Every structure is written in C-alpha cells, then in structure tokens.
Chain A
Amino acid sequence: MTLFRTLATTLAVGLIPAAAAAQSMSPMRGEVNSFTDVFAVRVFPANPYDQKIKIEIHVYDQDFQPVDARILPAAFQLGAQASRPVLVVVPFGGAAERKVRICTESIPFPNQQTQIRAQICGKFFGHRKS
C-alpha cells in the first residue's frame, strides 16, 4: 500500500509542469489528480537576491488557516539567485477535492525596525480520483 501510495503521489507530482528558475516561486497555479488520500505538488522557490536568505514554506487553506501538510524541506537556506524543488504532500482529509495555498515566505533583511516579509503564494487544486 505504501509503495502504491508513493507511486501514485509521484504520478501526481509529474503532472505539475517543470518550473523555470529566477522566480520567487513557480508554479503559482496548478491542478493535481490523485488516486490516493493525498496529493503532491512540487514547487520551486527561488532567491532573487544577491545574498543567501532563509526561506520557509507554509501551506494554508482558503481561509489562510494552516494545513497539516508534509513539506520537504519546510525551511532552508537558499543561495543567491538559486532555486530548489520543494515537495508538498497535502492530505484530502476525507474530501473529494481540496484547494490550498502553498506560500514561500522570507524576511531577507531581519533585525530592522519595520521588517517586510515577502510572501509568494500559489493556489493549487487537488482532485481525488476513485
């Protein structure tokens, strides 16, 4: 069963088109069909700065409530002008479909009086196929 789930998840990941670098996060839209009780999305956060920054990935529902998703990795340092893949596995939670936001967040210049957190959110729609 675990092997089947892994294979199905991999299939779902493959439905997401490959992304280009030099963007804060791509893709920002997607629909995924899954034959299991989870669906997976691979996103590509990118660091547009000329310095290393810390990036966190969060998953929210439509009301911006946190979703208990598996994020690999959820937080990491990303080098200047670099991009890397992040795998997000979202449970359907018993529903036939689920809309989530996957957000790339960073505070590139911390320890200032007024900090700005840049948040790039993509909207993803998972369909559970029986």
Chain B
Amino acid sequence: MKLFRTAFGAALLVTCLGQPALATTQNVIFNGTITPTCTLVIATNGTMTISPDLQTLSSHNSGGSAGTVTLTTTGGVSLSVDPVTTTTVPSADTTSTTWTPTYSSAGAHSIVETGSATAISTPGADLVSVHLAGTKGGSNRFANGNYQATVTLRCE
C-alpha cells in the first residue's frame, strides 16, 4: 500500500509538471492630455527715464530699466503686448505722446525685441523683458512731474 501511494504521488507530480501556471497579466493604461498652458509671473516693473532732448521717456534710456516677467509654457501659445491705453501724465503735459511697448525673451525661446505677437510652439521657461517708450514729436517736450503707464503682456 505504501509503495502504491508513493508511485501514485510520483505519477501525479510528473503529470502536473507539464501544466502552465494559472497566473495572468493585464495592462493598465494611463492617458494624459495637456492643453496649451502658460504662466506669467511679473518679477519687476519697469522704470522710464528722460532723454537729453526731453522728447523720449523710455526704459531704454540711461538709468531706465525694463520690466521683467517669467514665462513658463507648454507651447502652443502666443505672446504679445497691447497698445498702451492707460497712462497718467502731469497736468503740465498738454501735448500728445506716442507710447510704444515692446518685449524680448531669453531662455528656452529667444525673441528679439518686438512689438508684434510671437507664436511659441515648444515648452520651456523664459525671462521676458518688457520695454516702454513714449515719444513726442516736433517741438513738444515732456513736462516736469510723474508719469505712469500700464503695459499689458498677453499669453494666449
């Protein structure tokens, strides 16, 4: 009986050796979609100074400085500046001024200073410099007092 039991067990074991395991695998799929996105973080506002001929008030002039903005994007967006519509001038300034906003970019995307819209197709981070220049024509001059202007930097 003992011999029979041993032989039967051995035969059963040999039979099972050829059988595949019942374990199985299943893939788990992950999907992700990123729509165009951008973040603008204003680091510093700009400063305008007057030119020696008193006809240009600009961040490009000596002593002036550009505003700086950090741009982070996935790409697929456009960067632009709006015409300046919001200004404050001293009461002594009664002549018209032409305001010209521009911007340039350094970092993942190099943009030469421009006032036009720029398409950004690739992802990355940039430091955007925003400039503003006000000019007077003819014999007109900037007046003594405080000037303030707002430049709109748009990412869309």
Please report A residues at the B interface, Cβ cutoff 8 Å. 17, 22-24, 26-30, 46, 48-49, 101, 103, 105, 107-109, 112-123
Contact = CB atoms under 8 A, between A and B. Distances in A.
B139 interface: no
Nearest to B46: A114
A103 to B, nearest CB: 8
Contacts of A122: 156
Interface of B: 33, 35-42, 45-48, 59, 67, 69, 77, 82, 130, 132, 146-156
Nearest to B40: A118
B40 to A, nearest CB: 4
B152 A117 contact: yes
Nearest to B82: A119
Contact of B48 (A108, A114, A119, A120): A114
Of A23, A24, A117, A123, chain B has the most CB atoms within 10 Å of the CB of A117
Nearest to B130: A116
A117 B156 contact: no
B73 to A, nearest CB: 10
Contact of A116 (B38, B67, B77): B67
Given A23-B37, A49-B41, A109-B42, A123 B156 contact: yes
A119 B153 contact: yes
Contacts of B69: 116, 118
Given A49-B41, A109-B42, 10 more contacts: A26-B37, A103-B154, A113-B46, A113-B149, A114-B67, A116-B45, A116-B46, A116-B67, A116-B151, A121-B155
A23 B39 contact: yes
| Highest count of chain B CB atoms <10 Å: which of A28, A105, A107 | A28
Contacts of A22: 39
A116 B150 contact: yes
B156 A114 contact: no
A119 B152 contact: yes
Contact of B40 (A24, A30, A101, A115): A24
30 contacts: A26-B37, A28-B35, A28-B36, A28-B38, A28-B77, A30-B35, A103-B156, A105-B152, A107-B150, A109-B45, A112-B148, A113-B47, A113-B148, A114-B67, A114-B148, A114-B150, A115-B45, A115-B151, A116-B46, A116-B67, A116-B69, A116-B130, A117-B153, A118-B40, A118-B41, A118-B42, A118-B69, A119-B156, A120-B155, A121-B156
